[in-house]
Amino acid sequence: MPRLKIDSTKRRNSELALLALALLLVLAYSATVEATMLDTITPDFWVPTAALAGVFLALHVVVRFLAPFADPVLIPAAALLNGMGVGFLRRLDLDDVSGVAEAADRGAFAGVGGRQLAWTLISVILAAALLVLIRDHRNVSRYSYTLGLGAIILIMIPAVLPAQYSEVNGAKLWIRFGSAFAIQPGEFGKLALVVFFAFYLVRKREVLSLASKRFLGIDFPRGRDLGPVLGVWMMSLLLLVFVKDLGTALLYFGMFVVTLYVATERSSWLIIGLVLFFGGVFLAYYLGELVGGPFANFYDRATVWLDPFGDIDGDGYQLVQALFAFGTGGLFGTGPGGGSPGIIPEVQNDFIFAGMGEEIGLFGLISLLTLYLIIVERGLRAALDVRDSFGKLVAGGLAFTLGLQVFVIIGGITGLIPLTGQTTPFLSSGGSSLMANWMLVAMLLRISDAARRPLASGGGLAAAPGGKPAPQQLHGAETEVIRP
């Protein structure tokens, strides 16, 4: 198949070219930061970018051989975001460095930026390993129940752990090992949950979309089929209350409703979902106002959102500092290294977009947002193109969740919606988030490879190179029969 080969090579070459461009931008960014902050460029300024280049190239090579038809834009877009994140965190470290000599003496892995660089290397290698291990995305469905159970455990652990082991800045999203190291299990739980949802819904879609009662002109599903949906809704609200985190709750719930909607093609699910979620949110708001207690946190956040300048030294402080940073950045920003991100609380985590916004301005932020949009829309594209339902739901669910997460955190720190703690994918400092997001990219690469691979003669998919033939039917996924 000579034509086929040319196609994939072309695609991989454009990936390589885009990756080179992304790395060049990261290199230029690092140089500008040092020139601005230190008035000179240290001889080793290129080392972090070179380390990134090495590991991204390795991923590219793995993709070239094991997923040759994969979407060529995914890796460069994620790499550019990740590289800018590392560059910005290194820039934050420079705030605490006095003088050029100390800056030059720092190793590539020193400080928060250095740690992020190390996590990036690990995460990208993990993504590559995932591509090596999973030659066909459908194989993942074999572990769906394990993943589903694992997801619930991962998500619930921080909620039930005592606060001292699970709370960072008021959000119980962590498992802490001492003061130095903490993981955010929810980041991985999210991925596992999408896989489980996809598997569950492939089995249930007939039941859910056909058996229904008509009420007020809308088809509603049967009560017994609503169980899991209400279960997840309850879980979201419990998270909202106990994890004190609206963003995470919104994320899980949005994820489930959208995969449900995609699986059943029934807009009634969207309506039910929206009504339940906003109903829950309003309830939480008024309960917070009336009884406080576990609802107080959400009420406070909503109050800050409505008027951030009302309590400028208290609850509104974070958001106001972020708005100042955005405003100071204006259209073009103060230039890399030219701003004062150090005064924004949590600038290395939740507020990294605000810190960057001051320095790269509206145009820079729009570019970063566009990169996210590209990854999300390319993921949805893969979902459209892939032939099996499981692949569609996994790719669609993952891509949509990523987009929703970006919306929740960026919307939060720009005052569009109430602020809730979420990591900014590929940018925020932290290993859990990076690993999970690169695993997500690996899954999208795998599915987009399957989607774009030409059909072999005989109607089935051409087997992935080196892989075993994939199961023709989903493992244990026979469609349920409707009983009247």
Which chain residues interact with another protein by CB under 8 A?
Answer: 36-39, 95-100, 258, 261-263, 265, 312, 320, 323-324, 326-331, 337-340, 342-343, 357, 361-362, 365-366, 369, 372-373, 376-377, 380, 383-384, 389, 392-393, 396, 399-400, 403-404, 406-407, 410-411, 414-416
Residue 165 to residue 170: CA distance in whole angstroms: 12
> Of 172 and 190, which has the nearer Cβ to another protein?
190
Instruction: Kindly state the smallest distance separating residue 261's Cβ from another protein, in Å.
Output: 5
Q: For the CB of residue 484, give the shortest distance to another protein in the complex, in Å.
A: 26
**Measured between alpha carbons, how far is 442 from 79 in angstroms, rounded to an integer?**
13
Complex with another protein: residue 27 or 393, whichever CB lies closer: 393
Shortest distance, CB of residue 351 to another protein, whole angstroms? 13
Minimum Å distance from CB 2 to another protein?
31
Residue with Cβ nearer another protein (265 or 307): 265
Q: How far is the CB of 253 from another protein (least distance, A)?
A: 14
Q: Which of 404, 406, 303 is nearest to 350 (CA)?
A: 406
Within its chain, how far is the Cα of 324 from the centroid? 26
Query: How far from each other are the two terminal CA atoms of the chain, in whole angstroms?
Result: 50
Q: Which is nearer to another protein, 48 or 396 (CB)?
A: 396
Residue 294 or 411 with smaller CB distance to another protein: 411
Burial of 118 by CB count in 10 Å (0-12 exposed, 13-18 middle, 19+ buried)? middle
Q: What is the DSSP letter of 137?
A: G
CA dist., res. 48 & res. 94, Å (int): 14
The residue type found at 161 is L
Q: How far is the CB of 359 from another protein (least distance, A)?
A: 12
CB of 289 to another protein, least distance (A): 26
Residue placing its CB nearer to another protein in the complex, 180 or 331: 331
Indicate the residue among 45 and 174 with the shorter CB distance to another protein.
45
One-letter amino acid of 266: R
Min. distance of Cβ 364 from another protein in angstroms?
A: 10
Between 60 and 205, CB nearer to another protein: 205
From the number of C-beta atoms within 10 Å of its C-beta (0-12, 13-18, 19+), residue 400 rates as buried
**Letter for the amino acid at 159?**
A
Exposure letters 408-428 (e unless 16+ CB within 10 A, then b): bbbbbbbbebbbbbbbbbbbb
Q: How far apart are CA 37 and CA 87, in angstroms?
A: 13
> From the CB of residue 367, how many other CB atoms can be counted at a distance below 10 Å?
14
**80-to-19, 74, 274, 372, 373 alpha-carbon distances in Å:** 8, 10, 34, 10, 13
Local structure of residue 106 (DSSP, 8 states): S
Tokens at 194, concatenated: 């999408």
Q: What are phi and psi of 91, to 5 degrees?
A: -65, -40
Nearer to another protein, 284 or 399 (CB): 399
- 131: its two tokens: 């591509």
> How far apart are alpha carbons 155 and 172 in whole angstroms?
10
The residue among 52 and 410 lying less far from another protein, judged by its C-beta, is 410
The distance of closest approach from Cβ of residue 99 to another protein in the complex, given in angstroms and rounded to an integer, is 7
Considering the complex, what minimum distance in angstroms separates the CB of residue 295 from another protein?
A: 26
Calpha distance 198→264 (Å, rounded)? 11
